[in-house]
Chain A
Amino acid sequence: MDFLRPVTWEQALAYKAERPEATPIQGGTDVMVEINLDKGRPAALLDLNPVAELTRWSTEGTEIRVGAGVTYTRLIAELGPLLPGLAQASRTVGSPQIRNRGTVAGNLGAASPAGDAHPPLLASGAIVEAESVRGTRMIPITEFYTGVKRNALRPDELIRAVRIPAAAGPQYFSKIGTRNAMVIAVCSFAVALHPGERRVGTGIGSAAPTPRRAPEAEEFVAAALDWEGRSPLDPGAARRFGELVAGAAAPIDDVRGRADYRLHSLAVMARRTLGWAWNDYTGRGPA
Chain B
Amino acid sequence: MTTVAAPSAGTALDRVDGPEKVTGRARYAYENVPADLAYAVVVQATVSRGEVRAVDADSVLQLPGMIATIWHENAPRLAPVEDAELTVLQSPRVAYRGQVVAVVVAETLESATEAARLLRVDYRPEPHDVELRPDHPGMYRPDHVNPNYATDSELGDPDTALAFASVVVDATYTTPAQHHNPIEPHATVALWDADGLTLYDATQSTSGVRATIAPLFALPPESVRVISPYVGGGFGGKGAPHAQVVLAALAAKQVGRPVKLAATRRQMFAVTGYRTPTVQRVRLGADEDGKLSAIVHEAFEQTATIKEFAEQTTVVTRMMYAAPHRRTSHRLVRLDVPVPTWMRAPGETPGMFALESAMDELAVACGIDPVELRVRNEPTIDPERGLPFSSRNLVACLRGGAERFGWAGRDPEPGVRRRGRQLIGTGVASSTYPVYRMPSQASARAEPGGGFTVRIAAADIGTGARTVLTQIAADALRVPPAQVRMEVGDSALPRASVAGGSSGTASWGTAVLRACEGLMDALHRRAGDVPPGGLEASADTAEELRSQRPLSRHAYGAQFAEVGVDLDTGEVRVLRLLGAFAAGRIINPKTARSQLIGGMTMGLSMALLEESVMDLEFGDYLNRDLAQYHVAACADVRDVDAFWIEEEDPDLNPMGSKGIGEIGIVGTAAAIANAVYHATGIRVRDLPIRLDRLIGGGI
Contact = CB atoms under 8 A, between A and B. Distances in A.
Touching in the complex, A and B, CB below 8 A?
A: yes
Interface of A: 37-38, 41, 176, 178-184, 186, 255-258, 260-261, 264-265, 268-269, 272
A256 B622 CA distance: 11
B571 A255 contact: no
Interface residues of B, number: 29
A272 B633 CA distance: 26
Contacts of B568: 265, 268, 272
Interface of B: 113-114, 117, 264, 266, 568-571, 573, 608-609, 613, 622-623, 625, 627-628, 630, 632-636, 690-692, 695-696
Given A38-B113, A38-B117, A181-B635, A176 B571 contact: yes
Nearest to B627: A184
Most buried by B among A180, A184, A186, A272: A180
B266 to A, nearest CB: 7
14 contacts: A37-B266, A38-B117, A178-B571, A178-B608, A178-B609, A178-B630, A178-B691, A179-B630, A179-B636, A180-B573, A258-B692, A261-B570, A265-B569, A265-B570
B621 to A, nearest CB: 10
Nearest to A255: B623
A43 B627 CA distance: 26
A9 B625 CA distance: 36
Contact of B696 (A178, A179, A260): A260
A272 B632 CA distance: 27
A65 B249 CA distance: 57
B636 A257 contact: no
Given A41-B114, A178-B571, A179-B633, 17 more contacts: A37-B264, A37-B266, A37-B625, A178-B690, A178-B691, A179-B609, A180-B573, A181-B634, A183-B630, A186-B691, A255-B613, A260-B692, A261-B691, A261-B695, A265-B568, A265-B695, A269-B569
A268 B635 CA distance: 23
Contacts of B691: 176, 178, 186, 257, 261, 265
A184 B633 CA distance: 14
B635 A179 contact: yes
A126 to B, nearest CB: 26
Given A41-B114, A257-B691, A181 B633 contact: yes
Nearest to B573: A180
Contacts of B630: 178-179, 183
B98 to A, nearest CB: 15
A37 B265 CA distance: 9
A180 B572 CA distance: 10
A264 B566 CA distance: 13
A261 B634 CA distance: 26
Contacts of A256: 628
Nearest to B629: A255
B695 A255 contact: no
Nearest to B117: A38
Given A37-B266, A255-B623, A272-B568, A180 B695 contact: no
A269 to B, nearest CB: 8
Contact of B692 (A37, A38, A179, A257): A257
Contacts of B695: 261, 264-265
A272 to B, nearest CB: 7
B632 A179 contact: yes
A183 to B, nearest CB: 8
A261 B696 contact: yes
Nearest to A259: B692
A183 B690 CA distance: 14
A182 B696 contact: no
B636 A180 contact: yes
Most buried by B among A41, A178, A179: A178
A125 B548 CA distance: 76
Nearest to B572: A178
A255 B622 contact: yes
Closest 3 CB pairs of A and B: A261-B692, A180-B635, A181-B635
Most buried by A among B630, B636, B692: B692
